[in-house]
Structure 1
């Protein structure tokens, strides 16, 4: 089970890294949002949920408040990314910054909330 958890964790971190990296690479011209950001955000959301499931199956402690906050942030990033994907070249600047900024917030919550 530990191997599965580590694989899921690596995929989860790589997905968020893609979202943050795509945002950072377009900070000067944040529109349009890079292709694949919506899929990376959705994959990060999925792997995050699977990580919680693996911890629950191993009867390990799970901070449900932290997971709830991270879930809301991840859902917001994913929805915004899919909306930005649909708008293509007409993506508002605030939406591009919200996607990247909230992805960073999600990573910071994971690291700093003990």
Structure 2
């Protein structure tokens, strides 16, 4: 069961990397006003959602304690990220504020995962 848990942690990190990597890749485009949400960013966010749900399930199946408030906050942030990326995925240009919000919320989500114990 531990191997399965580690596989899903790795997949979760890959999802984070896809989402945040897509954001960092377009930092120059943000300044020019031509940034857009890429399919990789959407797939990364969806990967984070699916693997996060599986990780909570696996953790609870093993009898581990899960901080439901922390998971709820992370889920809420991810739903906002997913909503923005999904709705604006076909637009050629996304506003600086919306694009920056996705990057900021992703970063906050990472810090919640790492620092909230």
TM-score for the superposition, normalised by structure 1: 0.93
Q: Residue 90 of structure 1: CA displacement?
A: 3.2
Q: Residue 79 of structure 1: CA displacement?
A: 1.0
CA deviation string 1:21-55 (max 9, x = no partner)? 11011112131122321121011111001100000
Map 1:54-73 onto structure 2 (within 5 A): 54-73=58-77
Q: SS of the counterpart of 2:89?
A: helix
Among 101, 106, 116, the residue aligned to 1:113 = 116
Q: SS of the counterpart of 2:12?
A: helix
Q: What is the distance in 1 between the residues matched to 2:25 and 2:116? A: 27
Q: What is the distance in 1 between the residues matched to 2:12 and 2:3? A: 14
CA RMSD of aligned residues (A): 1.1
Q: SS of the counterpart of 1:36?
A: helix
The answer (yes or no) to whether the contact 1:84–1:95 under 8 Å persists in 2 is: no
Unaligned runs of 5+ in 2: none
Aligned position for 1:12: 12
Between the two proteins, the alignment pairs up a number of residues equal to 113
Unaligned runs of 5+ in 1: none
